[in-house]
Amino acid sequence: DVKVTQSSRYLVKRTGEKVFLECVQDMDHENMFWYRQDPGLGLRLIYFSYDVKMKEKGDIPEGYSVSREKKERFSLILESASTNQTSMYLCASSGPPRGEQYFGPGTRLTVT
Amino acid sequence: AQSVTQLGSHVSVSEGALVLLRCNYSSSVPPYLFWYVQYPNQGLQLLLKYTSAATLVKGINGFEAEFKKSETSFHLTKPSAHMSDAAEYFCAVGHSGGVADGLTFGKGTHLIIQP
């Protein structure tokens, strides 16, 4: 069965902290994605990666960075967390061209 | 550039009634389209997808969607709503040709089922 896992379901951090969100997929997919989800705004793409060590900015990359050292793992980094980064973060992966994305359960991050 | 519009942020139907969730898209290339469902505090789960085969696509849980090119629509339907269908539904349009296939999502429609 297809599986995308995220390191935490709920996370509370303080303003200014460095935050790491981890995502692992077991499907040998080339592509991985990070979205944030906010009420009324749907899903917005932060960054994606199409290969190990390769990354591309999405629609809202400001304040975020990513790392992909291994094919199965894609990390989202908040260099200095701010309250406006309080959100639900969803990781996804996809394989074949025109294929669907498979999503993890999400991490609800609260920055206080 | 692709975009997706979901009409109605909230849709309320009675149990047993028809479910109709509307999705219109714009795409400069032949699109491929998806509907996802999200239950509370969970990730997104694929309901169905259209990738240029049959225009009427059947998905899980009794849902189906029809691709209408002339109307640039991909509305989601279910003949008889069940209480377990209460969730957030997202329509998405795919775009390929770049370094990776990406999806553009609509803002979502919250489906409420009245007993």
- Give pLDDT tens digits for B69-86: 899 999 999 999 999 999
Identify the pLDDT of residue B100.
57
Question: In terms of pLDDT, which residue wins out, B11 or A40?
Answer: B11
CB nearest to B9's CB, from A40, A90, A104: A40
Identify the pLDDT of residue B39.
93
Identify the pLDDT of residue B115.
93
Identify the pLDDT of residue A40.
84
Distance from the Cα of A95 to chain B's closest Cα (Å) equals 9
Positive or negative: CA dihedral B81, B84, B90, B92: negative
CB neighbours of residue B29 within 10 Å: 10
Mean pLDDT of B40-61: 89
B69 touches A: beta carbon within 8 Å: no
Q: How far from the centroid of its chain's Cα atoms is residue B77's Cα?
A: 9
Identify the pLDDT of residue B53.
74
